[in-house]
């Protein structure tokens, strides 16, 4: 491809609206242009990269035995009403009417459509297992579209759906996708972790993993082990407890102390007033779980993990109690709640029970109590893991590892759905025994356009993009220093022809620009190999430079072609 003909509008400066590094690079290197908030056009370079990502995804899906289909974006509202999601999905669902005033939605995901399809086409266990996928444009009217392709309103997703006759089958299909995802992200040269995620309200039994690209701009926090593979979303990260509990006898010596703490409500204020570390206090929070108040206690330096609390209580709703409820339950304003004498269920985190002696709220305005010995005074508490994991906690899976924290971008998601959609949409099959049962489903998404941004968050330097070879828009950038020099142009064209013969994609900068401009653009668009054809071209020598290397090699034309063809 000749660069003079290529629509590749590079920019010297990053447009001010772009906050994320990947978004800036995509605008500067002329990969995308915005049409409306969260809606983008892919220019030729961007389209080429997106195609490569699509192709990697497609190859690995095919390799895993999934079959490609293409489903419509425009979906009748009735389907969404049948699954119950027409209401639940809320304003993220793009809704429209046809000329007959029939309601439609633009698909944000395709569980409804695929379940309705399979309902009609699959009726026997002999047709199972089945995994179908598509690579297709999705619509979500996101509240805050941002960071370019990271959170778009129209974006490219690969979505796959598996259908099995039983849960063991689902597990096999799930692991098959899980492994395909590992291959896909590895081929894209992404640094990522597969994390255990919370299945929330749509989850069936069994599990869900999110694939997180590690990047500062990421919206999620991941706890990962320093030694083994363990990684989880903060909301469900576990850790191994240290055994530091002293015996009850040792603790029984002294009694409780009443401490006057006028207006001192927060842990930071207590730390200051008593000159003690936060880990010497018990933090008591009053929640309302499914309408009933409960108290949750964690150590002063820890944070309550509401998902763990909710799961422990098997509660559907959990929220912090309002001022009135707190006063009614504790007889004191917020800030003085404590474990002793509360008329409601009390949940105490393991770390609280391991404290020898602590200061806690007294359930009385302006008072705390000291010398609280959990093993003695909190025998009524339900002990469990109710806190967020912290950096430095012991890994729950291996001996030596400690947890470290990272920010992550969710690029993929695998999910055991179970029978949620097959039941709602009556997608049933006859099992081997001849009785009818709902299909057991899984769903598996990859944000293909988001993946492009995620790769860029990890692969750039101060001069621009540094594409991994597997998804670079071109493999080789041929740059004659002077477009007016016929020898240079002839050598460049000769290299281009030989690369083309070898099936290597090359871009030739034939523009009549200053060398500085050409090199700056070349660095910015980040093609992995650059061959500079300069004043030694007449002697058959050119310079070859890898984008991620500082040094250029002066070599013969043949050697340059050979290197450019290396796998
Ligand atoms: P998020 O928490 O980021 O909103 P999600 O849980 O809504 O993601 P899924 O419904 O699981 O995402 O969609 C599957 C995949 O599609 C995600 O893993 C992500 O990579 C991608 N994705 C989701 N929303 C967007 C978006 N607005 N723009 C680009 N990609 C997206
Ligand atoms: Mg979302």
Question: Residue 70 in contact with residue 64, Cβ under 8 Å?
Answer: no
Q: Which two tokens stand for residue 151?
A: 């959170």
Q: Tell me, using a 6 A CB cutoff, whether residue 287 lines ligand 1.
A: no
Q: Tell me, using a 6 A CB cutoff, whether residue 300 lines ligand 1.
A: no
CA distance 536 to 542: 7
Rounded to an integer, the average pLDDT of 390-418 is 93
CA distance between the termini of the chain:
21
Q: Which ligand is nearest to the CA of 185?
A: 1
**458-472 tens-digit pLDDT:** 999 999 999 999 999
Backbone angles phi, psi at 418, to 5 degrees: 75, -130
Atom in ligand 1 nearest the alpha carbon of residue 109? 10
CA distance 125 to 428: 10
The answer regarding whether domain 25-237+405-456 maps to CATH 3.30.930.10 reads: yes
| Of 134, 173, 21, nearest in space to 446 by CA | 134
Instruction: Please give the distance of CA 429 from its chain centroid, rounded to a whole number.
Output: 34
Q: Tell me, using a 6 A CB cutoff, whether residue 447 lines ligand 1.
A: yes
Query: Is the link from the previous residue into 111 a cis peptide, with omega within 30 of 0?
Result: no
Distance 502 CA to ligand 1 centre (A): 38
Sign of CA dihedral 312, 315, 321, 327: negative
pLDDT higher than 80, residue 339: yes
| Edge-to-edge strand list for the sheet holding 292-299 | 318-320, 282-289, 292-299, 346-349, 382-384
CATH number, span 476-564: 3.40.50.800
Q: Give the whole-number percent of the chain exceeding pLDDT 70.
A: 96
Q: Dump the DSSP string for 362-383.
A: -SSTTEEEEEE-HHHH-TTSEE
**Where does the pLDDT of residue 497 fall: very low under 50, low under 70, confident under 90, or very high at 90 and above?**
very high
Rounded to an integer, the average pLDDT of 505-520 is 97
CA-to-CA dists, residue 105 to 91, 116, 420, angstroms: 11, 15, 20
Beta-bridged to residue 361, according to DSSP, are 368
Distance 415 CA to ligand 1 centre (A): 13
For residue 441, the 8-state DSSP code is E
Length of the chain measured in residues: 567
Pocket test for ligand 1, best of 450, 452, 454 (most atoms within 8 A of CB): 450
**214-269 tens-digit pLDDT:** 999 999 999 999 999 888 888 888 898 876 655 666 556 668 899 999 999 999 99
CATH number, span 248-384: 3.90.960.10
pLDDT higher than 50, residue 210: yes
Distance 71 CA to ligand 1 centre (A): 18
- Fold identical between 248-384 and 476-564? no
pLDDT higher than 90, residue 203: no
Beta-bridged to residue 159, according to DSSP, are 134, 445
Distance 452 CA to ligand 2 centre (A): 17
Domain boundaries defined on the chain: 25-237+405-456, 248-384, 476-564
Residue 301: per-residue pLDDT: 94
Question: Residue 395 in contact with residue 229, Cβ under 8 Å?
Answer: no
Residue 205: per-residue pLDDT: 47
**Average pLDDT for the chain:** 94
Q: Tell me, using a 6 A CB cutoff, whether residue 412 lines ligand 1.
A: yes
More confidently predicted of 399 and 458: 458
Minimum CA distance residue for ligand 1 atom 26:
151
**Where does the pLDDT of residue 199 fall: very low under 50, low under 70, confident under 90, or very high at 90 and above?**
low
């Amino acid at each position: 491809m000749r660069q003079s003909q290529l629509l590749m509008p590079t920019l010297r400066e990053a447009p001010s609206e772009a906050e994320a590094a990947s978004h800036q690079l995509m605008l500067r290197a002329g990969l995308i242009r915005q049409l409306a908030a969260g809606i983008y056009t892919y220019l030729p370079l961007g389209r080429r990269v997106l195609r490569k990502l699509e192709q990697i995804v497609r190859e690995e899906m095919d390799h895993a035995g999934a079959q490609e289909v293409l489903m419509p974006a425009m979906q009748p509202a009735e389907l969404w009403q049948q699954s119950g999601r027409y209401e639940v999905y809320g304003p993220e669902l793009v809704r429209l009417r046809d000329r007959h005033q029939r309601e439609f939605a633009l698909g944000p995901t395709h569980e409804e459509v695929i379940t309705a399809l399979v309902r009609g086409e699959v009726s026997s266990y002999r047709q199972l297992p089945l995994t179908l996928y598509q690579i297709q444009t999705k619509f979500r009217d996101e509240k805050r579209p941002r960071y370019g392709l990271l959170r778009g309103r129209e974006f490219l997703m690969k979505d796959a759906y598996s259908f099995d006759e039983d849960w063991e089958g689902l597990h096999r299909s799930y692991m098959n996708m899980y492994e395909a995802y590992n291959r896909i992200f590895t081929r894209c040269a992404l640094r990522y972790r597969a994390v255990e995620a919370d299945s929330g309200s749509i989850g069936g039994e069994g599990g869900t993993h999110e694939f997180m690209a590690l990047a500062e701009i990421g919206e999620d926090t991941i706890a990962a082990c320093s030694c083994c593979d363990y990684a989880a979303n903060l909301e469900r990260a576990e850790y191994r407890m240290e055994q530091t509990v002293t015996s009850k006898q040792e603790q029984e010596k002294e009694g409780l102390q009443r401490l006057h703490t006028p207006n001192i409500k927060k842990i930071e204020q207590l730390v200051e007033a008593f000159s003690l570390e936060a880990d010497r206090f018990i933090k008591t929070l009053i929640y309302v779980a499914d309408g009933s108040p409960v108290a949750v206690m964690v150590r002063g330096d820890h944070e309550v993990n509401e998902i763990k609390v909710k799961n422990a209580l098997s509660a559907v709703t959990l929220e912090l109690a309002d001022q009135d409820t707190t006063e009614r339950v504790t007889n004191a304003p917020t800030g003085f709640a404590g474990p002793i004498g509360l008329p409601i269920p009390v949940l105490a985190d393991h770390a609280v029970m391991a404290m020898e002696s602590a200061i806690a709220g007294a359930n009385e305005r302006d008072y705390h109590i000291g010398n609280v010995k959990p093993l003695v005074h909190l025998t009524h508490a339900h002990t469990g893991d109710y806190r967020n994991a912290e950096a430095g906690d012991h890994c729950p899976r291996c001996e030596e590892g400690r947890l470290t924290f990272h920010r992550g971008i969710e690029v993929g998601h695998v999910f055991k759905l179970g029978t949620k959609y097959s039941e709602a949409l009556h997608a049933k099959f006859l099992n081997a025994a001849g009785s009818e049962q709902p299909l057991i489903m899984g769903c598996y998404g990859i944000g293909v356009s988001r993946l492009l941004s995620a790769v860029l968050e990890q692969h750039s330097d101060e001069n621009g993009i540094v594409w991994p070879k597997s998804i670079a828009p071109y493999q080789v950038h041929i740059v004659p220093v002077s477009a007016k020099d016929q020898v240079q142009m002839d050598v460049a064209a000769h290299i281009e022809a030989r690369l083309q013969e070898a099936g290597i994609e090359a871009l030739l900068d034939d523009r009549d620009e200053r060398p500085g401009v050409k090199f700056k653009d070349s660095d910015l668009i980040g093609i992995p190999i650059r061959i500079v054809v300069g004043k030694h071209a007449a002697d058959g020598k050119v310079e070859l430079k890898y984008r991620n290397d500082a040094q250029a090699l002066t070599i013969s034309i043949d050697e340059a072609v050979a290197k450019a063809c290396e796998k």
